[in-house]
Amino acid sequence: MSNEDLKMMSTRNSQMRLIKSLLCFFMVLLMGCDKRSETSFSKEDLVLIPLPQSLELNKGSFRINKDTRLVIPGDSLQPLAGILNDLLERSAGFKMALAREASGDNFIQLKKKTALTEEAYKLSVTTNRVVLEANSRLGYVYGLETIRQLLPKEIEDTSKISNINWLIPNVEISDAPQYPYRGNMLDVARHFFDKAYIKKHIDRMAFLKLNTLHLHLVDDQGWRIEIKDYPKLTQVGGFRVNQEDKHWNARGENSPEEEGTYGGFYSQEDIKEIVAYAREKGIRIIPEIEMPAHVMSAIAAYPWLSCTGEPIAVPSGGVWPITSIYCAGKESTFTFLKAVLTQVMELFPGKYIHIGGDEATKTNWKTCPDCQARIREQGLANEEELQSYFIKRIEKFLDQNGRVLIGWDEIMEGGLAEEATVMSWRGFQGGWEATQQGHDVIMTPTSHMYFDYYQGSPDYEPVAFNAFVPLHRVYEFSPVLDSMSLSQRKHVLGGQANLWSEYVSTPEHSEYMLFPRLAALSEVLWTPEAKLGWEDFSVRIQKMMERFDLMGINYAKSAYAVVPEADINLDTKEISLRLKAEFPGVEIRYAQDGAELSPESRIYESPIQIDSSLNLKAAVYKNQQRMGPVMDKDFQFHKAVAKPVTYKNSYHNNYKGGGETGLVDVLRGSKYFKDGRWQGWINQPAILTINLEQPTRVSQVIVGSLEEQGTGIYFPQEIKVEVSKDGKTFEKVGELKREFKNNPVAKIKNFKIGFESKDNIEFVRLSVEPLENNPKGGGSWLFLDEILVK
């Protein structure tokens, strides 16, 4: 072919493309041009959580319009149409017509494929059709939720959206979960959450391909399920005296005579409705009926269930230790429990029944004639074996009814019931031991899976249990340990996140604690380990948050919070401040000394050098919008900054708080005692000397301290300040003594010891005495961070 021919062909092709474009333009004006095949997507456009097992992106897309049909075979699967149609009707103003058989083009087809496993699906999207293959309702649900995530996020909008193409990228996806148990526990006992919120949460779990909702229906502070044979369980046990205006651990003891007005419960009809709704979304519900402890609500209703038979009230707040528990010696206790569990099994048709089994303080069993008689009759060694007898008896009853018992890892104490499944919460060890014994295990360790823990600095977060589980730690979770054998690994069913509700009283707060951490959990339990990556997930979850906004989820933005870290130059006495957020690679802007923080503030690019006191504000920005809380901190320079500190009694190895310069580095600890900033001593004073290295005028010493009485950390009982010119002869210049006061919350306080100015001082010695008599027993911790010399 000659060059002239090539030129002519190129000209003709250009002309054809121009004609095609003009035709398309006029068709858009007249009737709308279907440009699905010309739309291209990149992998960055695909915001899928959890990430599929296998995904291939092809050119083009499929567009849903008013003529698109949804092909669903069989009557039983027809309700699945709502997963997409309910959203389309609201946001697009139309629904896809239902059909039983596929014909022509422009359809989404659900197609049976028996070769797939129960939860697997295959999704093929081309320009003309979408085919979703599965072997069960579960597979179809997960595939439809993937289609939902592939559609524009605006499909989640609650009002009609105009001028948008409802495009699904052309993809080939083959997908199945890594673990069969992917769960979330909601504690509806400490605080009651109504049926509407439970159903909304079920929708969100399905969106993330979680498959198990564990409802904690019974605890000391409330009985939440109607049992027709024992109506007082909800009439009395379902309500408590309203002390919601007080901190959970500051609530007083209630009188059995005082009427409870705060609470609620699910009727049996409510339970049936919730279970049926969950089944349509591919989610099983596991009820938890606590025993033998965490049952003060039941004993308040029927005192004869306890060892003493004495009337008690439903408590309004924290109880520890838990001594009011079921009597294991009375046969009437087991008659009651069998009746309760019989009704529970009628309402919850699934395989598992959770019976708790945790935190039972057996004080009353030791003195109860009935319990001691039971120990003798059964040839048991002690009260631990009596609890094992209790659990094994209930396990046998459940097994006779075709159910499997689940319990917290305490059920292993004294011997594990033969067919029981263990939920390992006190770390991984209980799960490891249970798998070694051939038992199935669900891993839910506090270190990764307790969502009632803080996810960001307590300085910015709503009140929570004083421990820390940030988003990245959830993403690091794996239910399988490297030390497990192959046979042990086969017994690990999966994992579960738990949201205990002592401090969580509203749906909005519940959502805040659950999201986005629940998305991280969904991915590590679904996606193959080789495909997991924190940086990639960080990008996708930030984009997914835009969809969460439209879904009305009150998610936490804690991963955007800016956290300062410091290095000290001991020669120049300069502090080098580094700013970071949990999400990598984000844009941090900052302002100093009273300047307003704004989208135009300076971008943080390298450590900030400071050699004098300043106020620093910083936050993450994206597209001119602030994404998280503002860090607003004062960094106070003082006469002891970066000076040498020597200790008579060294700090505890677990609480080093920045090491030997940690008390004089201008960085202050937060209300979370494990944030790495606090230095701690247990049952001994902190005695330390600061070398000011030159003659200095001194008139005040400030000692920063943390109190968190629930974990045994108390403010100092006494502080003594001494000064010296030569490091040998010291003069006492100030002293502070204080009385113990009850304090239910984590609190930071600066103790100021002022005195007449002293010149030419080179050494300052502090003796900080811990609380001498811990009112709760056990050791007394002393936590210090920053000592300021002025």
- Answer whether 409's CB lies under 8 Å from 446's CB: no
Instruction: Out of 89, 154, 157, 359, pick the active-site residue.
Output: 359
Task: Please name the helix (run of DSSP H) or strand (run of DSSP E) that holds residue 6, with its range, or none.
Answer: helix 3-30
Q: Known catalytic residue: 359? A: yes
- Answer whether 669's CB lies under 8 Å from 748's CB: yes
Which string of b and e fits 634-657 if b means at least 16 CB within 10 Å? ebbbbbbbbbebeeeeebbeebbb
- Answer whether 500's CB lies under 8 Å from 187's CB: yes
Mapped onto helix, strand or coil, the DSSP state of residue 647 is strand
Instruction: Out of 119, 133, 156, 219, pick the active-site residue.
Output: 219
- Say how far residue 656 (Cα) sits from the centre of its chain: 27
- Answer whether 419's CB lies under 8 Å from 437's CB: no
Q: Known catalytic residue: 509? A: no
Instruction: Out of 294, 354, 439, 448, pick the active-site residue.
Output: 294
Q: Known catalytic residue: 294? A: yes
Q: Alpha-carbon distance 153 to 142, whole Å?
A: 17
Q: What is the 3-state secondary structure (H, E, C) of 616-633?
A: EEEEEEECCEECCCCEEE
Region of 651 please: left (phi>0), alpha (psi -120 to 50) or beta. Answer: beta
Q: 433: burial class by Cβ within 10 Å (0-12, 13-18, 19+)?
A: middle
Q: 363: burial class by Cβ within 10 Å (0-12, 13-18, 19+)?
A: middle
Q: Alpha-carbon distance 106 to 567, whole Å?
A: 62
**Which residues, 6 or more positions from 752, have their beta carbon under 8 angstroms from its beta carbon?**
700, 701, 702
Tally of CB atoms within 10 A around 756: 7
Q: Alpha-carbon distance 239 to 221, whole Å?
A: 8
Catalytic residue IDs: 219, 294, 359
